[in-house]
Chains A and B, each alone.
Chain A
Amino acid sequence: MLVSTYALTRLHLTFGIPTLMLVSYRGDFGDGNWWGSSVGRVTEPVLRGLGISYEVVRSADEIPGAIRKADRSSAASLLPTAILLGFGSVGGV
Chain B
Amino acid sequence: MNLRHEYIAALTRELKDEIIVCNSGGVQDDLYSAADREANIYGPGVGLVCQVALGLALAIPERTVIALDGDGSLLLNLGILPVLADQKPKNLFVIVFDNGVYEAGGNVPTLASKGTKLEELARGAGVQGVTVQTSIEDFVTDLKAALSHDALRFFVVKVKPGRVAGAPKTISGMENKFRFLRYVEQTLGKNIFQPPTQRFTGGKASDR
Distance in angstroms between the alpha carbons of A69 and B44 in the assembled complex: 27
Residues of chain B lying within 8 A (CB to CB) of residue A10: 44-46, 48
Q: Could you tell me the dominant secondary structure of chain A's interface residues?
A: helix
Question: Separation in Å of the B72 CB from the closest CB of chain A?
Answer: 14
Please state if B173 and A14 are interface contacts (CB–CB under 8 Å).
yes
Interface stretch among A21-29, A34-42, A43-51, A71-79?
A71-79
Which of B44, B52, B174, B204 lies at the interface centre, i.e. has the most chain A CB atoms within 10 A of its CB?
B44
Q: A65 contacts which of B51, B52, B177, B207 (Cβ < 8 Å)? A: B207
Please state if B45 and A72 are interface contacts (CB–CB under 8 Å).
no
Q: A72 contacts which of B46, B176, B200 (Cβ < 8 Å)? A: B200
Shortest Cβ distance from B197 into A: residue: A72
Please state if B206 and A11 are interface contacts (CB–CB under 8 Å).
no
Chain A contributes a number of interface residues (CB within 8 A of B) equal to: 18
A56 interfacial by beta-carbon distance below 8 Å: no
B100 interfacial by beta-carbon distance below 8 Å: no
Question: Contacts A6-B47, A72-B196 hold; do A15 and B203 have CB atoms under 8 A apart?
Answer: no
Q: B199 contacts which of A7, A15, A65, A71 (Cβ < 8 Å)? A: A71
Residues of chain A lying within 8 A (CB to CB) of residue B47: 6-7
Please state if B199 and A75 are interface contacts (CB–CB under 8 Å).
yes
Please state if B177 and A72 are interface contacts (CB–CB under 8 Å).
no
Distance in angstroms between the alpha carbons of A64 and B202 in the assembled complex: 10
8 A Cβ contacts from A1-16 to B? 6-7, 10-11, 14-16
Please state if B207 and A69 are interface contacts (CB–CB under 8 Å).
yes
Residues of chain B lying within 8 A (CB to CB) of residue A6: 45, 47
| Sample of 7 more A-B contacts, CB < 8 Å, known A11-B48, A15-B44 | A10-B48, A15-B176, A15-B177, A64-B207, A65-B204, A75-B196, A76-B196
Can you list 16 A-B contacts (CB < 8 A)?
A: A6-B47, A7-B45, A7-B48, A10-B44, A14-B45, A14-B173, A14-B174, A16-B174, A68-B203, A69-B207, A71-B199, A71-B200, A72-B197, A75-B194, A75-B196, A75-B199
B-side interface residues toward A, CB under 8 Å? 44-48, 51-52, 173-174, 176-177, 194-197, 199-200, 203-204, 206-208
